[in-house]
A and B are shown apart, each in its own frame.
Chain A
């Protein structure tokens, strides 16, 4: 039923009412809904201009500073060791600009958006600016899968997991086919900036519903970008699925808040009482009823987002399940069917559409359910290793994650004490941890949990530093702004260290790409191609045209593990021979992560090459290609 209310509610004041009973919902006549504000109330009009100027200065200085970095100097500790002081000055200027914008008497959304865009470019756009090529070997694989679909218009579902969750690659292939642009390297290069820009509206929509006032919401978005070190914002299905997930949750919290059940049952009553005890302030107001058609369409939108997520990425839908369940149990989502669909969709997809993957990976998927030790080992212990600089990076990442979660916990306590909304954010922060005992996800699960948890946690982290009741809409005081700036500076510096800690391993040079191009030009179709370490910018074409093999995984050697010998390579060579690619990034990775032989990867390869049957096909500064003759009785 359409409700044509002859009044409107001011945006900021409604949020005040979220906080508690002290500030009543202000309902004003539509004709006088926005009384002209006194000039003095809006502050000095030159200040926003000055703050915008700081943003532009920070952008120019930050990009210039990044451009001066020599990528060859980046070592085991990552980018932070080679960044000039001017970069940190630019970053500091931007942080101060954002905090200053947040402290204005009247919030200017355009100014805050500008500050965040600058932050995205200088904090998350360092790789494309410095290297000018896609980051991570996975980016190149993703380009290869897209290329495969573009060329064939089909899937090889037995090849690997990607072809069983092809939605994102189908989207890219559709873009490529429908525009005639077949080389999407530029898109992969600038994806970190693009993905973070696309996330901004969804993050803001989410934090607006998680927080008690718009300043906290903006600060929450800012904190997300500051603490987002996981680097999953490359051209990947998980980045796309995260966008869909955040939009879904924001839509649910905004359009469908409330309890999914009537308070008649015993359990429902208990849950309500518990939620009320935890969040004693007045609950968030139910929106005035929307037209039934709009509600139905928006519910359908939620289902479409869930379905899109399901076909695009294997993990994100499983993160959506606990988040939606907890929000429903906390009285934050009244869509009863959505958690059920969130469970049904990925399970049905796994069983019915991803059958080849399911059959081949039953043990991987279900073998470690409930084994918390295995999950902890894979996510924590097995990742701590490498040379001292790399260990510093790994420990910094763990520390940053822990700090954010601890601050979010403190924010929850503070929120409860101040009777301000905090429960939905806390539930969203905790919910992804439900996945921890299910499986290790290749040792990446803790990292992914952090990614799913961060949008919610960020909103809580800033909560203690912003004025809430009883001062209401007044801007933060100087002391609070200084504290916010200090916290932001510490976390941003930490993120420069953690996000770019593996920069020497994760980025590639044009010479390395030339080696891979030469490999495809040299090796006949169907050959066996071997990488010495799993860190090669290849497979961006001919994804299924060769048999790809790896000698050493890019992870620290486990204690007691025997050192690999030349046989670890030759055993991969069939009788028809094979091609081995050794690149500069592989050598750095082996050195930094401490994987492979203690003599160093290059010495190891040189020693094996002396055995005979090896010939150098191509060599440049980025690496070398060897042709390995196969034994007559080879595989």
Chain B
């Protein structure tokens, strides 16, 4: 149980670092570094934060099926769908600011991760 919690914390930390780094890097920086950080973040960042928020272990407890493939699939697909919808909205409104859009997705991700963190702290305090 402790190792599972540690694993979740590690994933949350990696996503948080990627989201934090994506905010400045989406505006400036060496192209290779920006690609190495912003690319994976757009691919899976927001969706992973959402899955952490949903607490996959609880789904697993309830249903018993292997939840990991679905969690990974949702993490990737939600991230891609969010970026697709955001970019489409920008294109149709004539407000094309992709760097700002990445920053917005990063802030959304950080918000979800903060909620996850707050919840786990509350639980720890209660127990």
CB distance from B56 to the nearest CB of A (A): 10
- In contact, B38 and A175 (Cβ under 8 angstroms): yes
Contact of B66 among A11, A180, A240, A285 (CB under 8 A): A11
The answer to whether residues A177 and B78 also contact, given A3-B62, A14-B63 and a CB cut-off of 8 A, is no
CB distance from A518 to the nearest CB of B (A): 27
Residues of B within 8 A of A201 (CB): 68-70, 72-73, 76
> Interface range on chain A: under 10, 10 to 19, 20 to 34, or 35 or more?
35 or more
> Considering the chains assembled together, what is the distance between the CA atoms of A173 and B50 in angstroms?
24
- In contact, A5 and B61 (Cβ under 8 angstroms): yes
CB distance from B101 to the nearest CB of A (A): 6
Contact of B70 among A205, A288, A291 (CB under 8 A): A205
Residues of A within 8 A of B54 (CB): 294, 297-298
> Considering the chains assembled together, what is the distance between the CA atoms of A246 and B72 in angstroms?
12
Contact of A167 among B34, B68, B69, B87 (CB under 8 A): B87
> Considering the chains assembled together, what is the distance between the CA atoms of A15 and B91 in angstroms?
45
CB distance from B76 to the nearest CB of A (A): 6
The reply to whether the CB of B2 lies closer than 8 angstroms to some CB of chain A is no
B interface secondary structure, majority: helix
- In contact, A301 and B74 (Cβ under 8 angstroms): yes
Contact of B83 among A5, A153, A171 (CB under 8 A): A171
The answer to whether residues A291 and B58 also contact, given A178-B26, A201-B73 and a CB cut-off of 8 A, is yes
> Considering the chains assembled together, what is the distance between the CA atoms of A204 and B69 in angstroms?
6
- In contact, B39 and A247 (Cβ under 8 angstroms): no
Residues of B within 8 A of A308 (CB): 77, 80-82, 84-85
Residues of B within 8 A of A177 (CB): 98-99
- In contact, A289 and B62 (Cβ under 8 angstroms): yes
Contact of B69 among A205, A255, A289, A291 (CB under 8 A): A205
The reply to whether the CB of A580 lies closer than 8 angstroms to some CB of chain B is no
Residues of B within 8 A of A246 (CB): 73
- In contact, B73 and A250 (Cβ under 8 angstroms): yes
Residues of A within 8 A of B84 (CB): 167-168, 170-171, 240, 308, 311-312
- In residues 22-77 of chain B, which contact A (Cβ within 8 Å)? 26, 29, 31, 34-35, 38-39, 42, 50, 53-55, 58-66, 68-70, 72-74, 76-77
24 pairs across A/B with beta carbons < 8 Å? Answer: A8-B60, A8-B64, A9-B64, A11-B66, A13-B64, A166-B87, A167-B87, A167-B88, A168-B84, A171-B80, A171-B83, A171-B84, A178-B101, A179-B26, A201-B69, A243-B73, A247-B70, A288-B63, A290-B59, A290-B62, A291-B58, A304-B82, A307-B85, A308-B77
For the complex of A and B, the 10 pairs showing the least CB-CB separation, nearest first, are A170-B87, A308-B81, A153-B96, A9-B64, A288-B62, A14-B64, A287-B63, A205-B70, A247-B77, A202-B73
**Which residues in A have some Cβ–Cβ distance to B below 8 Å?**
2-3, 5, 8-11, 13-15, 109, 149, 153-155, 166-168, 170-171, 173-175, 177-181, 198, 200-202, 204-205, 208-209, 214, 240, 243-244, 246-248, 250-251, 254-255, 285, 287-291, 294, 297-298, 301, 304-305, 307-309, 311-312, 353
Q: Apart from A174-B98, A202-B73, A307-B85, list 11 A-B contacts with CB within 8 A.
A: A153-B90, A155-B91, A173-B87, A175-B42, A180-B29, A181-B34, A201-B70, A205-B69, A246-B73, A251-B70, A304-B81
